[in-house]
Amino acid sequence: MGGLDFELVWFDSLGAKSSCTLVKTADVNVLIDPGVAVMQPSFPAPLAKKIYWYERAKSAIKRAAKLADVVVISHYHYDHFTDFDRSLYEKKLLLTKNPNEYINDSQRGRAERFFSNLYRTFGGIEFEEILHRRRRKTYSNPLDTIPHAREKDFGDYNRRRRELFRNGLRWFNGRVARWNSEKWIPEMRLGEIEVKFAENREFKFGRTDIRFTPALFHGIEFSRVGWVFATVIKRGKRKFIHSSDLDGPIIEDYADWIIRENPEILILDGPMTYMFGYTLTRTTLGRTIENVIRILKESSVKLMIYDHHLPRERKFRERTREVWETGKREGKEVLTAAEYLGKVPVVLQK
């Protein structure tokens, strides 16, 4: 790819929950989201097989980490980061999700354990020693950052949506009060590693630019599972995006952003179709399909790896059929990670 290449280290279509990717340029190697989790109980495979895939994924991630100079952690779900394996992080620059804001309570707890282990292992520092009081901060309404989604007309669903927004804003304000009351976890250099919080920042390595979005909702507006960031890597005319967990994307403004960025390679997680009828509604699924179709039609993306969340149940293609058909009509490659690697997604294997 003329100075920028990538390796799909492990993804859901290979049998364990992950979207770990190694991006290699002539200047720097970047490992994105080195985490893995066992498939959910409803996944159609014996537990022993799920554990086997999980162990294979861990080994693949460790091998990829040996090649990396930079490790990116987009958020603190276990299928996106590992807590704690020294071999993944030693001698690395860690560009991580800020654990102090735009984070829900469970991810804050996981982040505290992660950084406590990190600072003790690489710096010989007890976690409580590095925490300090934070300056109180005000936060604007997150809906102001997504005007397309905020103003979208959903017809009969509009009333229900306004209610969800009101409840969501109350939840968000509760999180703001929590962030302002907790002590601040700082960035640090710890001997052979360095930790920087990545949201809304850019880093240069020779001719390679690595940019990160501000915090984005993990799925729908005011998603209770928290926030993530997406990663953009550019070298020359080559551009690569790893979307992390946008769940589709569900939110129209995130699709608009991808279209403006106009990547050549897009790693896009899909909707959680295995939760259809529960946390995934027909309205939400329709939004994700409409948004990804716009990406395929309105951008110059050549390859879209459409995986993570999707291949956790056998009907994922049927439920997102319009996406795959649009890719064919537009002459774009839309593939699961397994298919890109010449394999059949394990959920479809007989």
Please report which confidence band the pLDDT of residue 142 belongs to, taking 50, 70 and 90 as the band edges.
Answer: very high
Quick one: pLDDT at residue 350? 77
Residues 6 or more apart in contact with residue 157 via CB below 8 angstroms:
283
4 near 238, Cβ under 8 Å? yes
CA 90 remoteness from chain centre: 22
**What size, in residues, is the chain?**
350
Residues 205-229: pLDDT tens digits?
999 999 999 999 999 999 999 999 9
pLDDT of 191 reads 86
Task: Of 262, 346, 273, 256, give the one whose Cα is nearest residue 309.
Answer: 273
> What whole-number percentage of the chain has pLDDT above 70?
99
How many CB atoms are closer than 10 A to CB 273?
Answer: 22
189 vs 179: CA distance, rounded Å = 23
Average of per-residue pLDDT across 293-319: 97
The one-letter code for the residue type at 68 is A
* CATH level 3 topology of 4-348: Metallo-beta-lactamase; Chain A (3.60.15)
Q: How much is the average pLDDT of 87-95?
A: 96
> What does the pLDDT look like over 100-121, one tens digit per residue?
999 999 999 999 999 999 999 9
In the chain, what are the domain boundaries?
A: 4-348
19-39 tens-digit pLDDT? 999 999 999 999 999 999 999
For range 123-133, the mean pLDDT: 93
Mean pLDDT of 44-73: 98
Distances (CA, A) of 283 to 129, 240, 315: 48, 30, 18
pLDDT for 277 equals: 83
Cβ-Cβ contacts under 8 Å for 323 (sequence gap 6 or more)? 270, 289, 292, 293, 296, 306, 334
Q: Annotate 10-55 with DSSP letters as a single string.
A: EEGGGTSB-EEEEEEESS-EEEE----BPPPTTSSS-HHHHHHHHH
pTM of the complete model = 0.96
Structure tokens at 264: 């050549």
Q: What pLDDT, on the 0 to 100 scale, is given for residue 226?
A: 96
The predicted pLDDT at position 2 comes to 60
Of 324, 296, 319, give the one whose Cα is nearest residue 309: 319
Which pLDDT band, with edges at 50, 70 and 90, does 242 fall under? Answer: very high
**In Å, what is the CA distance from 114 to each residue of 10, 119, 311?**
22, 9, 28
Return the pLDDT at 251: 98
Task: Report the SS3 class of residue 124.
Answer: coil
Amino acid at 101: E
Q: What is the mean pLDDT of residues 283-302?
A: 97
The token pair that represents 336 in the structure block: 């699961």
pLDDT at 210: 98
Distance (Å, whole) CA 254 – CA 277: 24
Which tens digit of pLDDT belongs to each residue from 268-284? Answer: 999 999 999 888 899 99
Tokens of 188: 């640090």
Dist CA 224 CA 177 (whole Å): 16
Q: What is the percentage of the chain residues whose pLDDT exceeds 90?
A: 96
